[in-house]
Each structure stands twice: as C-alpha cells, then as structure tokens.
Amino acid sequence: MYLKSLVLKGFKSFADRSALSLEPGITAVVGPNGSGKSNISDAVLWVLGERNAKHLRGQAMEDVIFAGSSARKATGLAEVELVLDNSDGKLPVDFDEVSITRRMYRSGESEYLINGSVARRMDVLDILHDSGLGTGTHSIIGQGSLDSILQSKPEDRRALIEEAAGVLKHKQRKAKSERKLAAMDAMLARVRDVAGEVGRQLGPLERKAKKARAYQELSGQLTDVSLALAVDDLRCLRQSWDTACAGEHQLVEDLQARHQDISTAEAAAEALQEQIRKQTENAGDLSRSYQRASSAVERFDGAVLLLHEKRRGAQGLEADVRVKLESGRAKRVEAVAEREQAAAQLEAVRRDLAAAQAAVERLDASRRENAQARRSVEDELDQLKRQGRADDRASEDARRRLSQTQEALANGLAHAKLVEGRAKELELALGQAGE
C-alpha cells in the first residue's frame, strides 16, 4: 500500500487546485523557506482525521482555509483528497484504490467522503486502523517531533515500539472493549434495578389489571345498557315525532275547515248586509210615504178646523140661515154634500194613516230582526275569528312542540354518539392500562 496522489484545494497556501502524483519509493519536496512544504504534510495529517489545530500549526481549525492575499480574496472551502493504493488488500474495502476526502467550510461545517460517498470520521479511522496511518500515530513526523522522540521517556518509547509492532491497535481495541463492557455492566445494573422495581410492582399491577379487566367488563355492560337506553329513547322520540306530525296534520285540516267556515260566514254576513241595505232603502220609501200621509193628515186637520170654524159661523148665522132657509136650502144641501165628502176624505186619510203606521211597524220589526240577525252574524263572525286565533295558537304550540321534539331527537342522537365515543375512549384507556 502506498500513497498514489494528493489533491489540495483552498488548503492553507494552496488557493487553486493542486494535484501531486506520487510513485512507489521515496518522494522529496524541495523548496525555499515559506514556500508551503510543511503544508503538504499538514494536509495529509488533516485529511486523515486530525482535530487539533496546534498539530497543524494553527490557532483554530478555520486557519486551514486559504485566508486570501493582496492579489486574491479568501476562499470559503478547504478540501484535501488522499488516494491510497489498495491492490494488496491492506485496507478492509473491496476497492483497488481508496479515496479519502475531507472538506471544511468557513461556517465551521466539516464532512468526510470515502470514494465519493459521505462518511463519518470514525469510518475513516476504522479503515486506517490496521495500516499504521491516522491520528496518534508516528506515520507523519513534523518539525521538532524527532527531537521529542529521541529525548522521550521509556514509557513514550514503549508506546512508539508498540505502535511499530502493531500492538497499539490491540490495546486500543482492548480499551474500547473495556469501555463497552463497563457500559454494558452499567446497563446490566440498570436492568437489574428495573427488574427489581418491576418485580415489586407486579403485585399492585396485577391487582390493578384485575380491576381494569373487571372495569372493562362493567364498562362493556354499561355501554350496552347505555346504547339500549339510547335506542329506546330514540324509539320513544320517533313515536312522539310521529304523534306530533299526525297532530299537526289534524290541526292544519281543522284550521283549513275553520277558515272555510269563516269565509262562508263572511259571505253570509255580506249577503245580510246587502239585504239590510235594500230593506233600509225600502224603509226610506215608506218613511217618505209616511211623511206624505202625515202632511195629508195635517191638511185634513186644517180642513176640519176650518169646517168647525165654518160650523161656528154657520151656527152664528143660523138665524139668518133660518131666515134665509128657504133661500139657502140649495146652499145647505151643497154644504152637507161637502161635509160628507170631507168626512169620506177624512176616513180615507185615516185608513191610509193606519196602513202607513202598520207598514212602519212592520218595517221597524223587520229592521230590528235584521239588526238582531246582523248582531248574531257579527257575534258568530267574532267567535269564528277568536276560534281562528285559538287554532293559530294551537298550530303554533304544535309547531313549538314539534321543534322541541326535533331538538330532543337531535339531543338523543348526540347523546348516543357521545355514549359511543365515551365507550371507545374507555376501551382505549383500558387497553392502555392493560398494556
């Protein structure tokens, strides 16, 4: 296994993309001071997973990103790609070449890629674990590191020898296994505590489970009874609904019949009013006839008074008449004839007066009868109107009862749904309590 190529882009002094192709053997990088030779080894160390900025000769990890110069501006990304030859199968992957890439953004985000696929830092370290590469190893020795190795203590030299002999990886695996075992022991202790606590709670939980099962059975019975009651209430409400509908239909028919009676009574009242108007016109004619008859009677009375006056004059002149009897016999006969004629006229006027008075009395009686009939019709009309208003109130009461019945039916249906929903909630709660 050897390093085939190294590609740097935006890493420290390598602002542009720079690719280094390497061959098996020794490769030397030659250049003056400050040309960035150490940046190549820093790039290799960084792409292998180094997280300590001081090992990369910086103060913060963002220092690995090209910071810009007077000629060009800073970049926002540092990327290093390391390609290893794996033709001998040293690395535990099924590829002849392994590409390890690390990217870091100026926002602080970082990501690793293995052969172009996003991976974790732990995945990179696992691949390089048995190869002697990676952080904490001496595969890359920087400036000043050689003196520290030569002047190190026996314990540090032992670590170096163990790393070279391949023992370090087993010690790391052992430490990792020990950490896992310690974590497993802690988890096992926790499990024992939980098991003990569960064992102490089994008795109360069993009693609670029995109560829950009993409660579930009783709840099921309660649900059945509630549903039965709801169904019965619904049946009663439907019967009440049908009864109310039938009553409403009957009230509507009665109301229509009452309206028909009122229409008939109004028609009869209009006919009676027309008859009264006609009879009132006839009564006016009779009254005018009566007035004419009264005038005739007055004239007859004047004639009678005149005749009496003439009689008195005749009596005063009786002597003269007796003297002139013979001469005035003819005049006497005429006067007697005139008196008889006047008496006949008086008798005729009296008969006309009696007939007029009888006609007036008949008209008065008919007018009183018509007025009585009119009052009766008006009373019946008022009674029918009151009955109509009562029927309207009864219809309104029926509609109100119908609305109340509908509301009660809706409440019953809502109560049934509420009972069903409450039963489902109780079943769910009991199921959760059983779990």
Distance of CA 203 to the CA centre of its chain: 47
pLDDT confidence band for 187 (50 / 70 / 90): very high
Question: pTM here?
Answer: 0.40
Note the pLDDT of residue 417: 73
The last residue of a domain, from among 143, 174, 208? 143
How far apart CA 432 and CA 419 sit, in angstroms, is 20
pLDDT score of 304 = 59
Among 418, 249, 393, smallest CA distance to 241 is for 249
Q: How many residues can be counted in the chain? A: 435
- Give the mean model confidence (pLDDT) for residues 388-402: 74
User: pLDDT confidence of 356, banded at 50, 70, 90?
Assistant: low
Note whether 100 and 114 are within 8 A (CB).
yes
Q: Which residue has better confidence, 373 or 368? A: 368
Distance CA 41, CA 175 (A): 29
* Domain closes at, from 102, 127, 143: 143
> Is residue 326 domain-resident?
yes
Whether residue 43 contacts residue 11, with contact meaning beta carbons closer than 8 Å, is answered with yes
Q: How many Å apart are CA 291 and CA 121, to the nearest integer?
A: 140
Whether 139 and 229 map to the same domain: the answer is no
- 158 domain residue, yes or no: no
Rounded to 10 deg, the angle between the 167-316 and 154-165 helix axes is 80
Does 428 fall in a domain? yes
In a domain, 210, yes or no: no
Which residues are CB-neighbours of 93 under 8 A, at least 6 positions away?
Answer: 86, 114, 115, 127
Between the ranges 284-288, 317-321, 424-428, where is the mean pLDDT highest? 424-428
| Residue 49 within a domain | yes
The CATH number of residue 130's host domain is: 3.40.50.300
Sequence-separated (6 or more) residues with CB below 8 Å from residue 90: 1, 130, 131
Q: Last residue of some domain: 82, 108, 143?
A: 143
- Phi then psi dihedrals of residue 85, to 5 deg: -85, 125
Are 275 and 384 in a shared domain?
yes
Judged by phi (left if over 0) then psi (alpha if -120 to 50, else beta), residue 144 lies in: left
Output the domain CATH number for residue 354. Answer: 1.10.287
Local confidence band at 80 (pLDDT 50, 70, 90 cut-offs): very high
The per-residue pLDDT for 245 is 82
Alpha carbon separation from 310 to 302, 340, 344 (Å, rounded): 12, 15, 18
Range of the domain at 39: 3-143
The answer to whether 117 touches 41, Cβ cutoff 8 Å, is: no
Mean pLDDT (whole number) for 337-342: 70
Q: Which residue has the tokens 């409450």?
A: 422
Taking alpha carbons only, the member of 135, 118, 3 closest to residue 56 is: 135
Backbone angles phi, psi at 337, to 5 degrees: -65, -40
Confirm whether 184 is domain-assigned: no
- Give a yes or no: residue 176 inside a domain: no
Closest to 77 measured CA to CA, from 127, 15, 120, 139 = 15
Whether 155 maps to a domain, the answer reads: no
Q: What is the pLDDT of residues 299-330, one digit of tens each?
A: 766 665 776 676 676 566 655 656 665 665 66
Instruction: Quote the pLDDT of residue 240.
Output: 81
Q: How many domains does the chain have?
A: 2
pLDDT at 372 over 70: yes
Which structure tokens are listed for 402?
Answer: 């119908």
Residues 259 and 365 in one domain: yes
Task: Report the SS3 class of residue 75.
Answer: coil
Kindly state whether residues 139 and 282 are assigned to the same domain: no
pLDDT, one tens digit per residue, over 2-53 is 788 999 999 988 888 999 888 887 888 888 887 878 888 888 888 888 888 8
